Each structure stands twice: as C-alpha cells, then as structure tokens.
Chains A and B, each alone.
Chain A
Amino acid sequence: MRKLSRRRFLKGALDGGVVTIALPLLDIFLNDNGTAFADGMPIPTRFGTWSWGLGMSKSIFVPKKTGPDFDLPEEIAALASVKKHINLYTNFHVFQDDAPNLCHHSGWVVLRSGIAPLTRENRPGETIDVAVARQLGNATRFRSLSATATGDVRDSFSYENGNSVNTPEWSPLRFYQRLFGDNFQNPNASTFTPDPAVMIRKSALSAVQEEARKLGNSVGADDRARLDQYFTGLRDLERRFDLQLKKPDPREACIVTQAPQDLPIGLDAGLLSTRHRMMTDLMLMAVACDQTRVFNMFYASAFSATTKPGYDKPHHTATHEEAVDPELGYQPNTSWYTRRAMEEWAYYVQALADFKEGDGTLLDNAFIYATTDQSFAKIHAIDGIPMFSAGTAGGRIKTGLHIDGGGTPGCRLGFTAQQLMGLDIQSWGDKSNNTSSAISEILV
C-alpha cells in the first residue's frame, strides 16, 4: 500500500485515530502490586492441555503418600524440580458404560469430551479446550492453538465436533512463521499502524457471509451443518479483523526469538524430545505475547510409536509384548518410555514457570490439564487413569498435591478446570462420567 493512501484511509475509516503511537516499554507493563497491567486490565487466565501416551507403571508411578509432601516414585522422579507447581491425580476412573472399551481411544476421549465414544471414528461432543476457548479466546489473535511433538499432522486431541479436528502445528519452522511471520503485531513495538486493508476486508466479508448462508439452504442436513460451521468461522474472522485494528497491550515476557531450524521426520525419543521442546518454546512464547490464551500440546499419541535406541519395540508394542519383570515388578522398557514422557512434562511446566509475568510467572496465571489414554496400557485398563495439573490459575488453585480420587470420575478434573475458567456449567460428562463435584482439595 502506498503511504499516502494509508494515511488517507486511516483518516477516513478510523476517524483520524492513531496513526503512529509511541509506547514506552517495561515500566508501563504492570500496576504497583503486579496483579494487573497498568491500564487496570487484569492479567488474563490461560488454559492449556498436555498429553502423553500409554499411561503408567502403577507400582513406580503412584506415590505412597497423598496430599502435600508426596513421594516421587522412580517413574516420576523427573518431576522433582516442578513438584511444587503441579498436582498429581490418581485413582480416578474413566467409565465406558454401555460403550465398548476402544483401545487407546476411550480414555482420552472421555477425559477431553466427557463422553465415551461408540466407535473408533466417533468423536462425541467437543473437547474441553474448545469449550474453554469460547470463554477465553475472543480477545486474542488465535482462539486457540494446538501443536504436536510427533511431527504428524493427524495427532490432535482437540476437536469442535466429530468431523472437525483442530489441526496441530507439526513443524517448528512452519509454527514460527504462523506465529511470528508477517501478520504478527508485536505488542511491545514502539509504534502501531493498523493495516488499512483490514477494514475493507471486513466489508468484503459480509458479501461472503451472505453466500455461505445462501449455499447452506441448498444442501442436506449434514452438509448444512458444515456450511453453518463455515459461516460461524467467517464471523470469527470478523472478530480477528477487529482485533487487528486495536493496539495490542504490551507484554513483558514477549521476546520473539529467531526462526528455528526444522527437524527431520521420526519418533526416536531423543528427536521427539527436541521437537517437543522447540514446539513448547514457540507455543509458550505465543502465550506470553498474548496471541492465544488456550493452547494444546501433544507430546505423544495414544498409540505412541516412540522408539528407544537399540530396542526393537516401539512404545505401544512394548506395552503389550514386554513381560513384567518379576523382580522389578514392572516392564522396564515400557517404563523407560514413560520416564521420557515425564521428563518432557517437567520441561513444559518449568518453561511456563520461566516466563515472568507481574510479580509471578505465566504458570501462576495458567491452568494446565494433562491426560493420557490408559492407566495400565498392557491390558488396556482405563480405571485408575493418572492425570496432572499445573499452575494456580491466578492463585485460585493449590499445587504440590497428590490427590487420590477414590474411584470417582476423572471428569471431575475437567469439570473443575472449566469452572475455574469461568464456564457457567453445573456438571460435565455423560452417564457414569457425569459429575457435578469439583475437586475441592485443590481449590484455594
């Protein structure tokens, strides 16, 4: 666009509003007590999910003690440095009721949607992050973001409905470009100049929306639902255009780094770790820059095919084919894989804690919900499925606790999380997974 026309546009379309705005840095970020930004806006709450595959080796994963000061058995020893930031939930159940136990599917679907799936293709309802994003995601460039460490674009535990999976970012370079490429508005930039094309896009969009609406009237019910979804997406686009016309609030922890190198394809545990850490760093920088407030990180799939150097069974195969060592009382190679997952969970939590925000950290203003697909994967067990949370959601959650669920629904944690995020729900989950009982032990 030519400079003259940009100026003319702004004068006309924005009533002579801001053209170039100088912004002082650093000391304007926060109010005196550090709980809100200087303009009085509270520091936003964020919601994240994290997932690992294939559960645990119960005898060396579940601490003997509950409550604070719980012990860290060897399979979760890697969590020592972040123990104070997390809660561990054990002895919570996933119920299949009259649905089949779909191996490596029922567990994660129930914990994310509250509903037991009827078939392997079936993705009932919507996932918890989608519900939360409707509440938290309207003020940011991305309503939510998903990323996977596996390098496989099909790996996602986030869906709007049975036919609409939120596509994860799978390539670090591509993720970087999407987040911090041409369309990124650095919240700490000293100047802000709205793009004149945005307002025009908004006016053009109404014609497109009209077409979407007309088209929806000419097709069958299922297809109409898909076109209605498209129409809704166009409305959301309008919201994003509005955001692009507003000067973003400065963000202290937002420091964009150089673009990363891409990584080769593969699921070697070392490579997976590298990719997980790169994707985590990018994701959390996007959160720190307030590009999104809802974010999903996928470390390994339910059928995790992670490989161990020198061992001929990928993770999932090992869970089934490896014998329980009679002396150790667990499957040593399978446990090796779970330990790698716990190291990555620790990295993720620490990374959140390393972002300074106000007088605390990003983690203090977040709630992370971490789930898996089985408890004891060898026999496809879904009772006693382990879960974690991290963060205090703005000081509203106690951390450093091990909670024994006593066989109550695992959906209680998802229900608690949604209430924390401000969703007006009285219960969550279907049939035996339904609960209206928050996990009160963790509430401040």
Chain B
Amino acid sequence: MLLTGCERQSAVSAEPPQSASPIRTRLLTDKQYVNTITQVFGADISESVLPPIPPIERTDGLLASGAASVGVTSDQISQIQLAAATVAQKVVDEEHRDFLIPCSPESAIAADPVCAGLFLAETGRLLLRGSMDETRLAQLVDVASYAAEQTEDFYDGLALALEAILISPEFVFIVDSVEPDPERPAQQRLDSYSLASRLSFFLWNAAPDDALLQAAENGELHTPQGLARAVDRLLASTRLEEGMRTFFDDMLAFDEFNSLAKDPLVYPMVTGTTLEHAREQTLRTIIGHLLVDEADYRDLFTTRKTFMSMPLAALYGAAAADGWTSYVFDDDSPRIGLLTHVSFLAANSHAVRSSPTLRGKALRERFLCQKVPDPPPDVDFSTLEENENATTARERLDAHNSNPSCAGCHLITDPMGLTLENFDGAGIFRGIENGATLDISGELDGIFYDDVDGLATAMRNHPKLSACLVNRLYAYGTGGPVSLRYDRDSLKWLENRFVDKNYQLPALLRELTLSQAFSSVRPAESSENASIAADDTIGSPIHTAETSPSLAKTGNF
C-alpha cells in the first residue's frame, strides 16, 4: 500500500502504540542516596556518612541497569541502619534542629505527637517520595512518642522514628506503583508519584522535590500540559547537569577510576589526582558540549574543545591556569574528540602499558553498544610468545590477525585500538614506541583511515553511535536494561526523533520523558525470560556475555 506524504510523515513521527517500559524495583544508587539526603537535609548531613549502598554490577553497559536486579544482604542492611542512625542523630542535634524541624515541642523532655507528626509527615513525604497514609504516619508518631517517653527526650524520639523511615524498604528501593491507564484501556501506567520519581531520578539523579511531588499530588503529571511543564522545569534546572554527569559517568564506565592506578615507575607523572582530573575533564567536555552549547552529540568525537587543569596540563603538554579553564586543541594536534582524552586512553590500558585491544573493545561497548566476546578458554598463546620481543603493539598483536582463532574477535577491536597507539598507557602522546615509528592506520566497520582524525570521523559518522546513546538513555531513564523483544520499535522511534532534533541531548531528553514508553508500563520480565539483551554481539558466535570490568582490565591484550 502506498502512503501519501502526510500519512508517511505521521507514520514516521508517531510513537508506536504499544510503547511501554517494565515495572521496576530499583535499589537507590550511592549517589542517589547522597543526593536525596542532601536535598532533604543539606550537604553537611549527607557528608557525615558514607553511602551504605552495595556496589552494583554493570548490566548491559550501565550500573543503573544493575540496580533493577541487585539484592541487599543482611550485612548491608546493618550498614544501612548505621547510616540511618547517624543521619537521624545529626538532623535532630542542636546545630540542625531549629531549621530542619518545622516546630518546637512543648517540652524537650517529653513526647509531642503534634510536632512529631508535622515533621514526620513533611520529611517522610520527601524521603518516601510520596505522602504517607494516615496509618503509617500514626505508626511513626507512636514510635517517636514511645521513644521520647523512654528516653525523656523529644528529639531522641524523633531521631528513632526518622531512622525507621531511612531503613524502610520504600526509601531504599524505588518501587514502581501502577494504575490502570484511563486513556488506554487494558494498559497500565505509573501512578503519579512513581512517574515523579522516574522523572526526577532520571534528570536530577535525586528524589522528587516538593514542587514535583505537588504536581503529582494534584494530578498535573497525568495531563500532557502538566507533564510538559514539569519536564521543562526539570530540564531548565541547573540540577540537570548533575543528572547527566551521572549518566555519562555510568555510560563511560568511569567507576573504573575508583580503582585505577598507573605504575609510578613507568608513568611518574600520573598520580591519583591526575586521573581524577582526567575523569572530570571528559565530564566537563560532555556537559559543555551537550547541555551548554546544545551541540550535536556526534561532534563529541571530533571536537577539539575541552577543559584543562594544572595537573592535566603536563600530560597534554598544554599551558594551564589555576582551576579549570576552557581549552581548544590546535587543528594539527593529535587530540581530537573523546577517544583521545586521557580518561579514555588511560582507563582502557594496563597499569604498565597501553592496550589497543582494550581500547577497541571499550570503543565498541561504551559508544556503539556492541558486545565483544570473551576469548575462548582453549586459545593458543604460542604465537604471542614468539612475539614477546616485538617493538610495537602492532607487531605484538600481529599474531592475533594471523591466527584464525584470535582474528575473529581481535579484528573487531585491534584496528581501531592501534590507531590510538600514539598515546601510551597513561594517555600521554608519543611519536615513537621503543624507537620505532608507529603505523596508526586502521579501519572501523569498512571505513579505512590513516590517522586518529580518520578514526574520530569514522566514529562520529558510525550508524550505531546515536542509536547507542538512545539505548543507554532509555535504559537509564526507565530504570533497567532494554529488551529488544519489546523495546525495539520505541527505540527506533526515539532515534528518529533524535535525528530530527539534530542530535541534541536536551531535545532527546524531552522526547523521552514525554513519551508514552516512559510512563506506560508492562509487567516486569522474570529473570528466566529476560534473555534478549539489547546490545549486539559482534564477531565470534561463541559469545557468552558482556565481559566483567575486571576481565576487561586484565585480559590478555
């Protein structure tokens, strides 16, 4: 059947009618814990505790997606309780009580259910991300009163009731609550409080603030205009930067920096501070490019604009003033785009040398959402032994390309990783390696090039690049891994919208948060059935799963 122009336009731009994301139960991440405590009580309170949240396993490229399946052990619950007790005691201490508690008790040495109720209702609403029912509130007031009577201290009583909120599963987990969708019979949608949480954790990485909870309470979030108003307010806030920094830190697997170190004998210029600044440089570049300049996402891979600090200046051979300043690499500089940042180069190398394979693998997995398979267990390493005295990495890795059992995987990582060999294991430029000139020509999925500019351009124009960002944002926003069985059409539609909006991130965020997929829900897939992952596996068919960070860090590359 032929479509008229208008019909075709409508078919392309309309969101697929069955769009819906799974119902989730997510564990708060450590940053979400901190941000929420900061938002409700202030930074000095949140800084008094280490977030008691266990580390979360990266799932389909994101730690945030792992939060949808991670459990909490008994030991971790006891740490959550200790943190809760510390926070609660701080909130009621003499330094904070006057401005964090909205009333004064009639007597500081006795129970005061009215004042306790006022505080617990207000604070509980913010911490539990919705109003408490009367029974729950009464229960907490009873705890506060009983404790105040026992201790003869109103504030100690209040602290124990607050502690009970902070260890409650409704605080520690973000549990989606759903209701029938009146607009779409037989479909379900998030209730307004859950929608507020999904929006706020996505864009701000924190619990909803009072205004967003009000929008949920008065039904605005379930009207198109009200939702748009709320989304636009969140997008216009400076807090969007925190939300997107957290997203890109996750997407780029920058948690690696928490345990990253370089051998001081080999790289004496690289310290822990240098590496922290390398991480920060890339995040500043991303935020500046995408949120401040509202530029094309793809140009992140070719831009020479960045930021510089004193600790980094020595590594880049650049001049720098105190603090962070904007900086532009020269047109003939080998530094072009994110792939040539110290962060990417150093994080995807060994402690003592560079690794073309790790860099190629990271390029595919982080930015193109492709999975590189594990090496087979019976791999023959004898050819590598013969190349042990090779001068350059290209010579050493030549064995990969000449041995069929290696070539299957290494041809999808090494050709682009070798193009980055002008940067050593710490990301410092080198013209030669062990006295030999470096051949940095390469190929990325059929695009051949001679140098790093060519790789950057091939990456910028790669057809999977923008689809991957859409995939990761969708997973991050809806709180778990995407399923190609159910989400394929929604993802394609979103990608088209991203293209239509000139690859601008704020526009994509708006499209996603206002989409039906964001607020409509389908039942959660059980772990037994959720086998269709979103990332494409490339290369060898023996793929088992995405490799663990520790494998990537120490693999035989």
CA distance A201 to B523 in the complex (A): 36
Choose the segment among A77-85, A212-220, A426-434 that binds chain B (4+ C-beta atoms closer than 8 Å): A212-220
Nearest chain B CB to A278's CB is how many angstroms away?
A: 17
In the bound assembly, the distance between CA atoms of A312 and B554 in angstroms comes to: 13
Contact of A314 among B69, B352, B549 (CB under 8 A): B352
- Interface status of A304 (Cβ within 8 A of chain B): yes
A142 touches B25 (CB 8 A): no
A279, CB-defined interface residue at 8 Å = no
Residues of chain B within 8 A (CB-CB) of A267 are: 261, 351
Chain A residues with Cβ under 8 A from B164's Cβ?
Answer: 204-205, 207-208
Within the complex, what minimum Cβ distance (angstroms) separates A109 from chain B?
13
User: Which of the candidate stretches A43-51, A157-165, A435-443 sits at the interface with the other chain?
Assistant: A157-165
How many Å lie between the Cα of A378 and that of B379 in the bound state? 9
Interface string of B193-216 (1 = CB under 8 A from A): 000000000000000000000000
Contact stretch, chosen from B153-161, B217-225, B508-516:
B153-161
A226 CB-CB contact with B under 8 Å:
yes
Most chain B beta-carbon contacts within 10 A, residue among A2, A212, A226: A226
Contact yes or no, A196 B151, CB < 8 A: yes
User: Who on chain A is nearest to B556 by CB?
Assistant: A320
Pairwise interchain contact A230-B384, C-beta atoms closer than 8 A: no
Interface pair A317/B556, CB less than 8 Å apart: yes
Asked if B75 and A143 make an inter-chain contact with CB atoms under 8 angstroms apart, the answer reads: yes
Is B54 part of the contact surface with A, judged by Cβ < 8 Å? yes
Q: Tell me the minimal C-beta distance from A303 to chain B in angstroms.
A: 4
Q: How far is the CB of A85 from chain B (nearest CB, A)?
A: 29
Chain B residues near A154: list those with CB within 8 A: 55, 259, 549-550
B381 touches A320 (CB 8 A): yes
Query: Could you tell me the distance between the alpha carbons of A20 and B265 in the complex, rounded to whole angstroms?
Result: 57
Contact A164 B73 (CB under 8 A): yes
- Encode A103-139 as 1/0 by CB contact (under 8 A) with B: 1100000000000000111000000000000000000
List chain A residues, Cβ under 8 A from B381. 320-321, 378
| Apart from the given pairs A183-B82, A204-B161, A268-B264, 8 other A-B contacts in the complex at a CB distance below 8 Å | A101-B377, A103-B377, A120-B544, A151-B259, A154-B549, A205-B164, A208-B164, A234-B77
Q: A-contacting residues of B (Cβ < 8 Å)?
A: 23, 25, 50, 54-55, 57, 69-79, 81-82, 85, 109, 136, 139-140, 143, 146-147, 150-153, 156, 160-161, 163-164, 167-170, 172-173, 175, 177, 258-261, 263-266, 272, 350-353, 374-375, 377-379, 381, 384-385, 388, 523-524, 526-527, 544-551, 553-557
Task: Mark A residues whose CB is within 8 Å of B.
Answer: 1-2, 4-6, 8-9, 12-13, 100-104, 119-121, 142-145, 150-155, 160-161, 163-167, 174, 178, 183, 196-197, 199-201, 203-205, 207-208, 211-212, 215, 218-223, 225-227, 229-234, 236-237, 240, 264-268, 301-305, 307, 309-317, 320-323, 378-380
Q: Can you list 24 contacts pairing A with B, beta carbon distance less than 8 Å?
A: A2-B152, A5-B109, A119-B544, A120-B545, A121-B545, A153-B259, A165-B55, A167-B54, A197-B85, A200-B151, A205-B164, A208-B164, A211-B170, A221-B526, A222-B69, A226-B25, A229-B72, A230-B169, A266-B263, A302-B550, A303-B550, A305-B550, A312-B352, A313-B350
